[in-house]
Amino acid sequence: MIFWQWKATLNVVDSLGNPIPLPANLRLYFQNGFGHIGGVGLLAPPQPAGICQNATQGIAAAPVTLRAMVRVMDDWADRGVSPPDSNYPGKSDLVTLQDYRAMFPTIPGVQPPTVMNEINVFNFGPLFNSQGGNQTILPPLLGPRYQVLVPKPSADGPGVAGIKTIFTRAPIGTNVGWNIRSGSRAPDLCSLSGSFFPFAATMAQRLASGDSRLSLQERYGDHQGFVAAVKFAARDLVAERFMLQEDANLVAITAFMSDVLR
C-alpha cells in the first residue's frame, strides 16, 4: 500500500523517473504483498471486506518480519553487525499503473485498480517557493505531475521485488497491497487496506473458473508437501535474517495442524 497510497516509488526514483542512489548507511525494506501492515496466511486469516470490495488483511501477520528486524537493528546499533542488504523495488522492478494492469494475473471476479494516489506540484503563486512565502493563488493550480510507479506483479500477483515473507513464499492465496472501495466510492482505493484472493484447491477447479494462478494441489501436491514448503521457506527466511527461529517453529507447527490439502 505504501506504493499505491504513499507514493513510495519516490524513495528510489525521482520525479523524472531516474534512479536515486542509496547511502551506504541506509537500508530500505519492503514487505512483498502487504497492505499497510497486514497479510493473510497461516498465522493470519482473511478479514471481512467491510467498506472494501475484497477480503482484507489482518494485523496478525505484522509482527513476523518486524520482530526479526528489531533484532537486526539492535545488532547493527549495539554490536556493529551489518544488516541484510536493502530489499526494496528498484526502477527495473517498478511499472506504470497501465502496465501493472496488463501484467496482473487473471483472478475470477477481480479487477486491479484503475486509479492510484498521484502527486502534482502545486502553484501557489509567484510569491511562494519551496521555502514558503505568500500564497496568492487559492486554491492552488496543479503543476507538473510526478512519475509515480507501483511494484511489478508476479504470476501470483504480489510484487516481484521486496522481502518475500512466509505469506508469499508458501502462499495459500494472493496478497496484494491494494483494495478498492465498494459502492459509490469505487473505483477509489480503499484507504490503506490490502486484498487477499485464495487459490483454487485443485487444477480442475482453477481451470473451470479461468484462474491463471496455480492451485494448491499443483503447488504442493498434498498436505505433507505444503508443510515441507512452509518449513523450507521459514528456514530460508531465518538464514536471511527476516524471520526469528521461534517464529519459524511456530509457522511449521501451524502448517502441520492446518487443513490445507487435507
What is the rounded distance in angstroms from the CA atom of residue 18 to the CA atom of residue 41? 36
What confidence category does residue 15 fall into, taking pLDDT thresholds of 50, 70 and 90?
confident
pLDDT higher than 90, residue 38: no
Q: What is the pLDDT of residues 165-215, one digit of tens each?
A: 999 999 999 999 999 999 999 999 999 999 999 999 999 999 999 999 999
Q: What is the pLDDT of residues 68-108, one digit of tens each?
A: 999 999 999 999 999 999 999 999 999 999 999 999 999 99
Question: Residue range 22-26: average pLDDT?
Answer: 92
Three-state DSSP state, 65: helix
Predicted pLDDT at 11: 94
Nearest to 39 by CA among 208, 158, 187: 158
Predicted pLDDT at 198: 97
Does pTM top 0.75 for this prediction? yes
**Percent helix, strand, coil in the chain (nearest 5)?**
30, 15, 50
Cell, residue 177: 497491497
Can you give the residue ranges of every domain in the chain? 8-12+28-165+174-199
